[in-house]
Amino acid sequence: MKRGAMKRVWLVALTSLVALAGCHSFKKENVQPPTPLAKDFKPTVQVTKVWSSSVGEGAGDSGVRLRPAFADGVLYAVSTDGKVAALDAASGKTIWSKSSRTQGWFGWGDKKRADALYAGGPAVYGDLVVVGTLDGHIYAINAKDGSPRWESVVNSEVISAPVISGNLVIARTQDGRLYGFDSATGERRWVYDQDSVPLLSLRGNGSMLAANGVLFFGNDAGKLVALRLDNGEKLWEQTLASGEGRTEIERLSDADGAILLQGSTLFSAAYHGNMVAVDGPSGRPLWARPFSTFTSLDLNNNALFGVNDESQVWAFDKNGGADMWKNDQLRYRWLSAPAVLGDYVVVGDLEGYVHFLQTGDGALAGRERLSKKPIRAQPLVVGDIVYVVDVKGRIGAYRLGAH
């Protein structure tokens, strides 16, 4: 059995959503009900839906957080039922769309089986789009028309976006390995193996960050790790969570969020752990504070923003980690990771609502509804537009204006 197969455990928000789907009583399942939305809510910012579209069936029931990628005015999106598409980011119109519904990516084999179960990515750089799959493939695609470039096989699921850096593509698998591939040919350059991964973990892997010849990522053991990009050699690691507790659940310590970099400082956080600021070149911790989350953080010039494991939205002083504000009006609505759009923080929830909070004090300022399906992926901000996607592949583009 592949090690990745041992780690398909959905906990916290995802477990709650699955339980609620088949049950009409929150008390019966011992699940906290989501905080009701205020019916007399009066927005203080105007939110305009620029366009909406959809790509396949989205993430479906896979538990992955499929997030679009943007480059040169184009939005790239994929789905676990084998769809990949390029959309005009300004209008939402489809530029090209491909459907991989056969066992062989090029159309050969048993046509009753879908092979390209896209789940990791996409990532885009120049004319190259790269995406990983639930069945252990890495596919490179031409960004201009969606035609195939190369493919490679790995040992487990790929459920987070690969990274394209120079002449390398780096992909991460659920069994704890990272692979470096030649971006032109797909030839494997190096493999980093963490040797052991926890038998029990949250369903997810955070996005990797490539900068200054170094690859940074958080792992399922609550560590922030730095590798050399050219050969995969480990440079340093820093503990985000101790993994202590009486039960396996209490010892969960996944660092499943993206790694942020501002200047030479890295920011990251872990479930049942801490939010930490680290000096990038040395791995030396600058400050740390308790904060349990299983999503990514975001930041602006002054503050870090995060959603904790009860779906309370927090803001912290970026320079020392001190509390700035907390909003619990969306508690237990199992929010996505936050994204900063100008003077607002954007999050999606389990009922398809998109919420806009003021960065200064956390006050709810706007609300839109994309659909009736959960929004698990972090919204994507490009310029003055935020792109939001639900688990069924529906994408909405929103812009703010004066109220």
* Average pLDDT of the residues in 322-336: 97
| CATH fold label, 65-199 | Lipocalin (2.40.128)
**Virtual torsion, Cα 253, 20, 67, 266, nearest 10 deg:** -20
- Is the pLDDT assigned to residue 248 strictly greater than 90? no
Q: What is the pLDDT of residue 243?
A: 65
Mean pLDDT rounded to a whole number for the chain: 87
249-271 per-position pLDDT tens digit: 766 667 688 899 999 999 999 88
* Average pLDDT of the residues in 317-323: 96
Among 329, 287, 334, smallest CA distance to 307 is for 334
Q: What is the pLDDT of residue 398?
A: 98
Q: What angle do CA 182, 188, 189 make, to 5 degrees?
A: 75
- Is the pLDDT assigned to residue 337 strictly greater than 60? yes
Q: What is the pLDDT of residue 114?
A: 52
**Helices (H), ranges, 13-144:** 13-21
356-388 per-position pLDDT tens digit: 999 999 999 999 999 999 999 999 999 999 999
- What pTM value is reported for the model? 0.89
Residue 99 to residue 215: CA distance in whole angstroms: 32
Residue 4 to residue 23: CA distance in whole angstroms: 29
Structure tokens at 119: 């789940």
123-153 per-position pLDDT tens digit: 999 999 999 999 999 999 999 999 999 999 9
Q: Is 36 exposed, middle or buried (0-12, 13-18, 19+ CB in 10 A)?
A: exposed
